[in-house]
Amino acid sequence: MVSASAAAADAVIIGGGSTGTSAAFHLARRGAGKVFLIERAAVGSGPTGKSIGIIRLHYSYEPLIRLAARSLAFFSRFEEITGGTADFTRAGFLLLAAPEQMETVRANVELQRSLGVRTSILTPSEVAALEPRMHVADAGGAAYEPDSGFADGYATAASFAAAARRLGAEVWEGTAVERLVVEGRRVVAVETSRGTVATPRVLVAAGPWTPRLLEPAGVRVPIEATRQQVIHLAPPPAFGPLTVVLEDMIQAFYARPEAGGTALAGVLEEETQEVVSPDAFNQGADWDFVERVGQRWQRRFPGGADAAVQGGYASLYDVTPDWQPVLGPVDEIDGLYVAAGFSGHGFKLSPALGEALAAEMTGERPEIDISAFHLSRFATGALIWGRHQYGILG
């Protein structure tokens, strides 16, 4: 029984990353009553704050393309809509592929174009014209999106939270969620370190901490926390700044521009994933990882071979078996929703995800159907597999 003195909310969101804050903003924007956003540390302080921030539309699964396209449109008008900033930079996105990978890339581009995405196939010579410093002798071509780019995870989450607060939402930072209170088959409250909040609707968007919150309520979500490293490179002055976001499927490597003419880089490989506790893992970069990324950078950009390593860090992915998120209501418990398991590609989708989840939580049908991402797919075997070798590419 929930105490009569408990705070009351029409909806509670657990987790102050980009998806949780987006959902809080969209719920408040819809006039969905009293909205509480509860974050155990500070908004944007978890994996969102260390997101590589790449915003691209290249997916091989229609719902993901639709979510990414709607989110890109939102990022393009972020300041106008929220009154804050996501620090979105339109640098263009290039997906480089080997000759044997081009059939899949062409099929994906054809699907994306049928959905209104501005994208095209480039030949190796066209790639070289776009970025002359890139070695392309091993490439069969690339997909290119001129409207894509990158944004800042912390700025995005902080701006969503601030906008939600201006619309009347309460944001409780430094507040740990201790228990979901379930009576019968319905969620009725959230117990926190700050007190109990009575509510009929709860969205758990707590990234790699999501399973821990749901398991006591009898809900199992197959999410593992994996350690992900990022390297900060400073190319030599004569090289100049990187001008495009690159995902290199030939070497399973990515790089994107960063402030001051530097670049952030890492790998796409799944076999290198290290499963860790989300509360205790090495947040620095390993030297062998630095060497591996540096070698791939040098092969792709010979003129930048003398790039200096300015540092590195490790963050977390919340990975599901098919590398796709768990979204929407939990069948076993009325009023309980999940948005987690984004496997490293959730940030770019967060504006549209918040909108879709807010619609579901208020009893409406989202404009973009997210039902395929339901938790039940792991029990029924209806997993979602993209065409590419690497799950993060969708």
Residue 355 CA, chain-centre distance (Å), reads 15
Q: What is the reported pLDDT for 389?
A: 58
Q: Does 104 score more than 60 pLDDT? A: yes
Sign, CA dihedral 351-116-150-76, equals negative
- Phi then psi for 36, rounded to 5 degrees? -115, 135
Of the candidates 177, 185, 179, 187, which has an alpha carbon nearest to the alpha carbon of residue 335? 187
Grouping H, G, I as helix, E, B as strand and the rest as coil, residue 251 is coil
Q: Does 319 score more than 90 pLDDT? A: yes
Same domain, 130 and 181: no
203 and 357 in contact (C-beta within 8 Å)? yes
Could you read off the pLDDT of 140-149 as tens digits, one per residue? 999 999 999 9
C-alpha–C-alpha distance, residues 314 and 264, integer Å: 12
In a domain, 76, yes or no: no
Domain that holds residue 260: 92-146+224-319
141 and 105 in contact (C-beta within 8 Å)? yes
Which stretch of DSSP H or E encloses residue 112?
A: helix 102-114
Q: Does 20 score more than 80 pLDDT? A: yes
390 CB neighbour count, 10 Å cutoff = 16
157: which residues sit within 8 A by CB, 6+ positions away?
16, 17, 18, 20, 21, 43, 44, 48, 49
Same domain, 163 and 300: no
Q: What is the reported pLDDT for 388?
A: 65
116: left (phi over 0), alpha (psi -120 to 50) or beta: left
Q: What is the reported pLDDT for 269?
A: 83
Task: Name the token pair of 379.
Answer: 């029990």
325 and 340 in contact (C-beta within 8 Å)? yes
Of the candidates 351, 327, 336, 342, which has an alpha carbon nearest to the alpha carbon of residue 18? 351
Give the total number of structural domains in the chain: 2
Same domain, 229 and 141: yes
The arithmetic mean of pLDDT across residues 225-250, rounded, is 96
204: which residues sit within 8 A by CB, 6+ positions away?
14, 15, 180, 210, 213, 214, 336, 337, 338, 339, 340
Q: What is the reported pLDDT for 305?
A: 94
370 and 66 in contact (C-beta within 8 Å)? no
Task: Name the token pair of 321.
Answer: 């078996």
**pLDDT band per the 50, 70, 90 thresholds, residue 385:** confident
Could you read off the pLDDT of 136-179 as tens digits, one per residue? 999 999 999 999 999 999 999 999 999 999 999 999 999 999 99
Same domain, 141 and 235: yes
Q: Is the overall model pTM greater than 0.85, yes or no?
A: yes
Same domain, 309 and 239: yes
At CA 285, angle to CA 284 and CA 287, rounded to 5? 135
56 and 145 in contact (C-beta within 8 Å)? yes
Same domain, 297 and 231: yes
In a domain, 59, yes or no: no
Same domain, 311 and 337: no
Q: What is the mean pLDDT of the chain?
A: 95
Length of the chain measured in residues: 394
In a domain, 44, yes or no: yes
Same domain, 208 and 287: no
Grouping H, G, I as helix, E, B as strand and the rest as coil, residue 25 is helix
Same domain, 19 and 134: no
Task: Name the token pair of 320.
Answer: 């599901």
Q: Checking DSSP bridges between strand 262-267 and strand 326-329, what pairing results, if any?
A: unpaired
Same domain, 11 and 101: no
C-alpha–C-alpha distance, residues 341 and 327, integer Å: 9
Same domain, 242 and 301: yes
Of the candidates 219, 208, 218, which has an alpha carbon nearest to the alpha carbon of residue 320? 208
The arithmetic mean of pLDDT across residues 74-95, rounded, is 98
Q: What is the reported pLDDT for 386?
A: 73
Indicate the residue among 298, 319, 340 that finishes a domain.
319
C-alpha–C-alpha distance, residues 62 and 368, integer Å: 10
In a domain, 236, yes or no: yes
In a domain, 342, yes or no: yes
Residue with tokens 């009325």: 334
Indicate the residue among 265, 284, 319 that finishes a domain.
319
